Amino acid sequence: MSRIIIAIFSIFISLVGYSQEFSPKSWDEIANNIASGHDDAVPILLQLKNDLETAPQWDGDAKETYLSTISLLIEYTSRRGWFKDEETFLKDAMRNFNEKDSVANSPYTRRLWVTMTRLQQDLGDPDALLMYGHQALRMYEDVQDYSFNYALL
């Protein structure tokens, strides 16, 4: 189901004015494109997301790039109020980390849980908010990580 949503999302973006001329040279250019409310970076991010999900290599660089990609896609959908699409990206990312990562409670997965907690607040779902929030707290406490994200919870 989520793959269908992403496919539809990709088609929508291509129809609303994807610029073939946009070829960023850095993450900053991609982030600035998203922050400026433009759509040009979205097809690049969707392709990168797909490439990383199917790549055999899953090291620290791949994890960080994947999380950055998901974060920018979430930023894009959130700015448009497409919270269900944001939730789909997050659930896909959580599932991908669970399938590919040998560490269930990594800094990457904890950040995803915090983001999902925040999203449930935006969606107005108190039950899901409590469930995700409590799980995220437990994950941080299990590894005694009382950093900024822990404080957000």
What are 29-84's pLDDT values in tens digits? Answer: 888 888 888 888 899 999 999 999 999 999 999 999 999 999 999 999 999 999 99
Distance CA 140, CA 12 (A): 38
Taking only Cα atoms into account, the Rg of the chain, rounded to an integer number of angstroms, comes to: 16
In tens, the pLDDT along 6-37 reads 544 454 444 444 445 677 778 888 888 888 88
> At which residue do the structure tokens 């944001």 appear?
86
Q: What's the pLDDT score for residue 1?
A: 47
Q: Phi and psi of 10, rounded to 5°?
A: -65, -45
pLDDT at 52: 94
Model-level pTM?
0.80
